[in-house]
Amino acid sequence: MLILTLLLFDSAYSQNPDSLEDIADAAVKMFTWDIQKEERGTLMFLDVPYQRDNQDSEEYLTLTVAKDKNQKRPEFISIILPNNVVQANGIFIAFATAKTNDRWKIEFEKSVKVPFEKCSEEKNTCTARIIGGYVKDDETKEKVDIFQNFMDFDHVFFLFTFPDGSHESVGVPLCFFKEQYKKL
């Protein structure tokens, strides 16, 4: 699992660290969620940098999970992106497990499209919000338990598109989320 996390880290954030230990430390830091405890509950935050081809600056995908201290499930999960995405396409979420025989392989098992709830010109962001951890699948009309998928799968991938026809995929290992969420 750590090797796959390191590979995801390397593809999500290019650096030239001096050693494997530096890469591991950077991956742990990058995918460890920030926790903000409040009287009513807890907010978990994760900012994942990505860089589009032919762009000089990094952009961020931000994940927020809000949990009421009296509930087991989150109140909501939100995905926040810069508003330079094709808003009508929403964001595609895919879950995967890591398989190994002699080589690591990621197998995608579930995917769902989540619409953007709102986009703000003032904040330059688009937000997709998953209330209660559930989203309705546009194709099957079935309720998909995104939260349970966060707990069951090894990785989550977010795919979104841009007006020029390009797309971006951002992967997040879920081992750190699971570990931290269970402690809330």
Decide if pLDDT at 15 tops 90: no
Query: What's the structural domain count of the chain?
Result: 1
What integer pLDDT is reported at residue 24 of this predicted model?
A: 59
CATH (domain of 142): 2.60.40
- Whole-prediction pTM value? 0.82
What integer pLDDT is reported at residue 6 of this predicted model?
A: 40
Average pLDDT, the chain: 85
- Going across the sheet that includes 104-114, the strands are 104-114, 91-100, 155-161, 167-173
| Alpha-carbon gap, residue 58 to 18, rounded angstroms | 22
Query: Do residues 149 and 102 touch, judged by C-beta distance below 8 A?
Result: no
User: pLDDT digit string (tens) for 104-137?
Assistant: 566 677 789 999 998 998 999 999 999 999 999 8
What integer pLDDT is reported at residue 103 of this predicted model?
A: 63
Decide if pLDDT at 99 tops 90: no
Instruction: Identify the weakest region by mean pLDDT among 70-74, 82-86, 138-142.
Output: 138-142
Decide if pLDDT at 7 tops 60: no
| Alpha-carbon gap, residue 56 to 68, rounded angstroms | 39
Residues facing residue 126 across a β-bridge:
81, 119
What integer pLDDT is reported at residue 104 of this predicted model?
A: 59
Decide if pLDDT at 27 tops 70: no
What integer pLDDT is reported at residue 116 of this predicted model?
A: 95
Structural domain span for residue 36? 2-182
User: pLDDT digit string (tens) for 38-71?
Assistant: 999 999 999 999 999 888 899 999 999 999 999 9
The one-letter amino acid code at 7 reads L
Full 3-state SS string of the chain: CHHHHHHHHHHHCCCCCCCHHHHHHHHHHHHCCEEEECCCEEEEEEEEEECCCCCCCCEEEEEEEEEECCCCCCCEEEEEEECCCCHHHCEEEEEEEEEECCCEEEEEEEEEEECCCEEECCCCEEEEEEECCEEECCCCCCEEEHHHHHHHCCEEEEEEECCCCCEEEEEEECHHHHHHHHCC
Q: What integer is the mean pLDDT of 9-20? A: 50
Within the chain, what is the greatest distance between any pair of CA atoms?
Answer: 50
Decide if pLDDT at 13 tops 70: no
